[in-house]
Amino acid sequence: MQDICADVCHIQDAMMTTWSKRGAAVRGQSRPLFHRWLALAASCWLTALAAPAQSFNVLYTFSGVDNNAVGGYPFSLMLSSNRTLYGTCVNGGANQWGAIYKMTPAGTPSAVYSFTDGTDGGDPHAGLTQGTNGLFYGMAQIGGTNGYGAIFDVSTSGTCAGLYSFANEKGVHLTNANGANPIYPLALNTNNNNFYGTVTDAGTNGYGTVFQITHQGKVTVFYSFSNMVDGAAPEGPLMLYTNGILYGTAAGGGSNGDGTVFQVTAAGKVTSFYSFTNGSDGANPQGALIDGKDGHLYGTCAAGGTNGSGTIFKITTNGVLTPLYSFSPGTNFSGDPADPEYEYNADGINPNVLVLGSDGNFYGLAYYGGQNGSGSVFQFTRSGTLNVLHSFNYAQGQPNADGANPTSLLQFTNGNFYGTAKDGGANGTGTFFTIGLPPGITTQPASQSIALHGNASFSLTASNAQSCQWQFNGNNLPNATNYTLSITNAQMTNAGSYQAIVTNLNGPTPSSVVTLNLTNVPVSFVSGPGAVQYSGGQFS
């Protein structure tokens, strides 16, 4: 079973880089430990990226035991409407065809369903999407009636039904009517309560499809990519934007052969409106686009950019793209083939997951690279700074503690981020991890000038904060623990510097230092150089 699992992982890794300019990844040889040591020593010379205080913890290591009901090689994670974490594993399960599990924030898993490679499918790479009826909908890469994948629904109690089977691929171009081997989640269009999805393979032209499926399982294929200006091989799910249109990316095709950004109307009209150039904008976009809440869609390219290691970009819905960040160049591990799987760098290679945090910053994953060559978790600020939060430490063929090749990331209601790494861990079959961040200040206080005996207030808003303490000239103010500090009947000694310290279990975050200036101060208040007469103002 272990060899079978390894072969499936080879297939997935190759699929993730099918359209990469850097070539497809094939796992096989172990990296010699001496080479690993040399690489880690060399990484000390990489440009350091300052990371905010944070805590990384592995909460669960997936089992490498055959027939383990929870599964192994986790690939996805989602948060249900009742705030429960659900995920899929591409291997393992009671029947060794993959599994669905749920996970507590403390890292305790429960098995939900084991796939059979029948009409339900097998190897469920795609994550789950909750429908309006409370059931979860997903796609399996293989299985179904024809062996080319299936769409299914499953209840929280583990009752699963196969809804649709993808057709056989035919001919030299491997074509069919509807697509084959789906690996990305469905998107629910809340305007008409239908699901929309993408398939990377097959279709009438052999380059993937866009389709709609109802809750009852009726499928309508809207579009087959042609590898022309429209694009080819959509390697990510669709996302529903505020204008009611769905947006996605294709990893290949377009005017330059480097991928496209496209839109899908509810009626199924597909239009590509940007072609990547393999320049600073990137190439081979992967993963979902996300709403940046600023009129832009944000996404990642697995390749291209200044150094060929991938990019972060933003784009308007009328096709104006702005490159935001190019990942640093990779350095090949000594003795390994020239391939991104065998390279390390400062920040990551092949970024393919991006989410918007409650603090207004972006958080994401790079599948390869980082200082140990096994992927990274990063924070990307609105000002364009990328901070590496964690680099996975994995020597091929060797056990490790934290995992390798991260595949999913989301923010839970407690403010912490949770994710999965597909490989590595003590058993070599993946990990479930959390990253806790200190609070984020979303609105800073502002300096003020008021008249003597006047009133003033300083306010801030923060995400994921558990407490707040205001300081005056560097000292804590008694009973000043609200997010708004009010000063009434201000006196001379109230003038000075103010700052708030917001805190959670992961540490403190200071606000900007602001000042209170008093105007219209009578000369009689000053009795001599440096001497001030006052009666203290009131804080609340």
Q: Residue with structure tokens 């996605």?
A: 248
Mean residue pLDDT across the chain: 88
Contact 440, 464 (CB under 8 A): yes
- Compute the average pLDDT of residues 342-348: 93
For the chain, give every domain's residue range: 2-47+55-437, 441-539
Higher per-residue confidence, 205 vs 171: 205
Tokens of 254: 């377009």
Q: What is the pLDDT of residues 356-394, one digit of tens each?
A: 999 899 999 999 999 999 999 999 999 999 999 999 997
Name the token pair of 44: 């000390």
438 CB contacts (<8 Å, ≥6 apart)?
52, 53, 54, 464, 503, 504, 506, 507, 508, 509
Q: Do 73 and 97 contact (CB within 8 A), yes or no?
A: no
Instruction: Give how far the C-alpha of residue 100 lies from the chain's centroid of Cα atoms, to the nearest Å.
Output: 20
Q: What is the pLDDT of residue 47?
A: 40
The whole-number average pLDDT for the span 148-157 is: 98
Cα dihedral: 398, 399, 401, 406 (round 10): 70
Residue (of 388, 391, 309) closest to 352 by Cα position: 309
What pLDDT, on the 0 to 100 scale, is given for residue 296?
A: 98
In percent, the amount of the chain with pLDDT more than 70 equals 86
Residue 190 is predicted with a pLDDT of 96
Model confidence at 459: pLDDT above 70: yes
Which among 442, 438, 460 has a CA at the least distance from the CA of 514?
460
Q: 441-539 belongs to which homologous superfamily?
A: Immunoglobulins (2.60.40.10)
Q: Can you give the pLDDT at residue 540?
A: 63
Q: How confident is the model at residue 524 (pLDDT cuts 50, 70, 90)?
A: low
DSSP summary character for residue 330: P
Residues 6 or more apart whose CB falls under 8 angstroms from that of 177 comprise 167, 203, 204, 221
283-309 mean pLDDT: 98
The mean-pLDDT minimum among 12-21, 180-189, 450-459, 480-489 falls in 12-21
320-326 mean pLDDT:
98
Which residue did the predictor score with more confidence, 262 or 527?
A: 262
pLDDT for residue 88: 98
The predicted model gives 121-149 an average pLDDT of: 97
The predicted pLDDT at position 511 comes to: 97
User: pLDDT tens digits for 6-57?
Assistant: 333 333 333 343 344 433 332 233 333 333 333 433 333 334 354 566 789 9
Per-residue pLDDT of 172-194, as tens digits, reads 778 999 999 999 999 999 999 99
Query: CA 310, CA 237: separation in Å to the nearest integer?
Result: 19
Counting every residue written for the chain, the total comes to 540
Superfamily of domain 2-47+55-437: YVTN repeat-like/Quinoprotein amine dehydrogenase (2.130.10.10)
Rounded to an integer, the average pLDDT of 102-124 is 98
Nearest CA to 233 out of 26, 19, 14 is that of 19
> Span 458-476, mean pLDDT?
95
pLDDT of 145 above 70: yes
Q: pLDDT at residue 484 above 70?
A: yes
Beta strands in 226-361 (DSSP E): 239-240, 246-250, 260-264, 270-275, 283-291, 297-303, 311-315, 321-326, 331-332, 343-344, 349-356
C-alpha to C-alpha distance for 163 and 313, rounded to whole angstroms: 36
Over residues 239-260, the pLDDT tens digits come to: 999 999 999 999 999 999 999 9
Predicted confidence at residue 169, as pLDDT, reads 87
Residue 340: the pLDDT is 77
Higher pLDDT, 519 or 7: 519
User: In this structure, what is the dihedral angle of CA atoms 323, 324, 329, 330, given to the nearest 10 degrees?
Assistant: -100
* Bridge-based pairing state of the strands 514-519 and 448-451: parallel
pLDDT 10s digits, 45-58: 334 354 566 789 99
Helix (H, G, I), strand (E, B) or coil at 134: coil
CB 164 within 8 A of CB 137: no
| Among 274-278, 312-316, 509-513, 527-531, the least confident range | 527-531
Tell me the C-alpha distance between 487 and 494, whole Å: 8
